[in-house]
Amino acid sequence: MRKSFDPTTMLSHITVDKVGVEERVARFQTRSIKSESKLQGLKMVLNMIDLTTLEGKDTPGKVQQMCYKAQHLHDVHPGLPCVAAVCVYPSMVGTAKKALSNSSVKIASVSTAFPSGQSTREIKISDTKFAADEGADEIDMVISRGKFLAGEHSFVFDEIAAIKEACGKARLKVILETGELSTLDNVRLASDIAIHAGADFIKTSTGKIQPAATMQVTYTMLMAIKDYFDKTGIMVGMKPAGGISTSKLALHNLVMVKEVLGNAWLSNDWFRFGASSLANDVLMQIIKTETGLYQSTDYFSID
């Protein structure tokens, strides 16, 4: 049965202390990580990446190539994990499905008129159903930011609930596009709405708008997940996406997840990075940690 929106019980009505968030986030960035743990952390990061291509110029060839990379990150160095998933447009799900048939890598598809979300409910639902029918394991939807900012919270809630229904077995990630929400209070509010409407994951950004996944925003969303878990015992996943292109930033994010939510979230079932260039930087760091030599992009695959 589809849930209906009840602001009094569902929203935390918490106002976010921006200065406090910034201070807490700054502390996550000062943790000293020893090289042995760093290596484990980097491998964990690799295993949490949603390798992403979301461009107008995407072709089946590009997607096939990316799917190959998802399974063979850097074959000259054996023993590396593969990424968690590939993330593509609905029209490319079929191609990705075929390319990943014998692999543990999942297929995530964006939907609901990504990235703007400016379309009708019917189109968004059929967009989602199409992606799910093509074989997507995960659906990344965008919320209607215009409606949200206009205060039509029940519209946003109902839309997420409807898409959740259309997903079938696929897990639903809800993109808040925090770069358009202006304040951390709005981020918290949107997180609460998405979580209560049935999101399996909440995700920061489409990657098309700056700023994207800043640590402040991710922290605010992690706190929403924590409060919901404390209240209900239900886990919700988190996916920062956009702007995380260095290993260092990725490790800071892992530290934050561990300290806010705990070890249970340190797996790609509950935490993902949406990124296109992060994987290469992490690979270069892994090789650097093992050989002591700083690496060059010349020796790693381009996509």
* Least distance in angstroms from the C-beta of 11 to other proteins: 44
> Binding pattern to other proteins, positions 190-219, x when CB under 8 A?
------------------------------
Compute how many other C-beta atoms are within 10 angstroms of the C-beta atom of residue 13: 10
SS3 at position 237: strand
Residue 74 CA: distances (Å) to CA of 78, 101, 299: 8, 20, 10
Residues, the chain, total? 303
CB 297 within 8 A of CB 280: yes
Q: Which CB, 78 or 292, lies closer to other proteins?
A: 292
* Least distance in angstroms from the C-beta of 276 to other proteins: 18
Q: Which CB, 140 or 281, lies closer to other proteins?
A: 281
Q: Which CB, 1 or 294, lies closer to other proteins?
A: 294
Give dist(CA 273, CA 244) in Å, integer: 8
Which listed residue (69, 164, 173, 239) is catalytic? 239
CB 303 within 8 A of CB 62: yes
Q: Which CB, 126 or 295, lies closer to other proteins?
A: 295
Which listed residue (140, 192, 200, 281) is catalytic? 140
Going by C-alpha positions, the residue among 196, 185, 174, 260 that lies closest to residue 223 is: 260
Which listed residue (69, 124, 164, 203) is catalytic? 203
Compute how many other C-beta atoms are within 10 angstroms of the C-beta atom of residue 186: 18
Give dist(CA 268, CA 254) in Å, integer: 12
* Least distance in angstroms from the C-beta of 289 to other proteins: 13
Tokens 């029940």 appear where?
154
147 is an active site residue:
no
Which residues are bridge partners to 198 per DSSP? none
**H-type helices in the chain, by residue range?**
7-10, 18-28, 35-47, 60-71, 93-99, 121-134, 145-149, 153-167, 184-196, 215-232, 247-260, 278-291
* Least distance in angstroms from the C-beta of 164 to other proteins: 43
Q: Which of residues 272-301 bind other proteins (CB under 8 A)?
A: 292-299
Q: Which CB, 72 or 248, lies closer to other proteins?
A: 248
Q: Which CB, 91 or 246, lies closer to other proteins?
A: 246
288 is an active site residue:
no
* Least distance in angstroms from the C-beta of 247 to other proteins: 12
* Least distance in angstroms from the C-beta of 286 to other proteins: 14
169 is an active site residue:
no
Our finding on whether 34 is near other proteins (CB under 8 A) is no
Task: With CB under 8 A as the rule, give the number of residues binding other proteins.
Answer: 8
3-state secondary structure 184-229: HHHHHHHHHHHHHCCCCEEECCCCCCCCCCCHHHHHHHHHHHHHHH
Catalytic residues: 140, 203, 239
Residues of this chain that bind other proteins (CB under 8 A):
292-299
